[in-house]
Amino acid sequence: MLAELDVRPNLCTTGGILHGGAYMAFADTLGAVGTFMNLGPGQRTTTTDSSTKFISGAREHSKVIGECVALHRGRTTQVWQTCIKNADGKLCAVITQTQLTLEAAK
């Protein structure tokens, strides 16, 4: 799954670089959407673990591209990895997260 994020000023540090929390929220959203697309009727999901490795920055008023792939799709958990690259194609961050599958309340 691919997605773009505009590097808006309100998502940046005072130095005009995309804030680490914005990378993490972007990746968390992609992993949650990927998990949701693989859930059964009445199931829902929540993130239980996330690990972020920051590698490079993305400048204000540019775009970043997130590519999210499933590493594991199990019965109770799914593990997703998102690689985020800047407008020049340089790797900025790698985020790996675990999503828990929750059954509908009875």
pLDDT band at 86 (very low <50, low <70, confident <90, very high): very high
9 neighbors 60 (Cβ within 8 angstroms): yes
Give the C-alpha separation, 16 to 106, whole Å.
48
pLDDT tens-digit series, residues 11-36: 999 999 999 999 999 999 999 999 99
Average pLDDT over the chain reads 95
Q: CB 77: neighbour CB atoms within 10 A?
A: 15
Give the C-alpha separation, 12 to 62, whole Å.
11
First and final C-alpha spacing in the chain: 32
Question: Which pLDDT score is estimated for 106?
Answer: 64
pLDDT exceeds 90 at position 64: yes
Q: CB 29: neighbour CB atoms within 10 A?
A: 16
pLDDT exceeds 90 at position 70: yes
Task: For residues 86-99, give the mean pLDDT.
Answer: 96
Task: For residues 31-60, give the mean pLDDT.
Answer: 95
Q: Which of 15, 26, 70, 73 is nearest to 52 (CA)?
A: 26
Question: Which pLDDT score is estimated for 77?
Answer: 96
> Structural domains in the chain?
2-102 (3.10.129.10)
Question: Which pLDDT score is estimated for 104?
Answer: 75
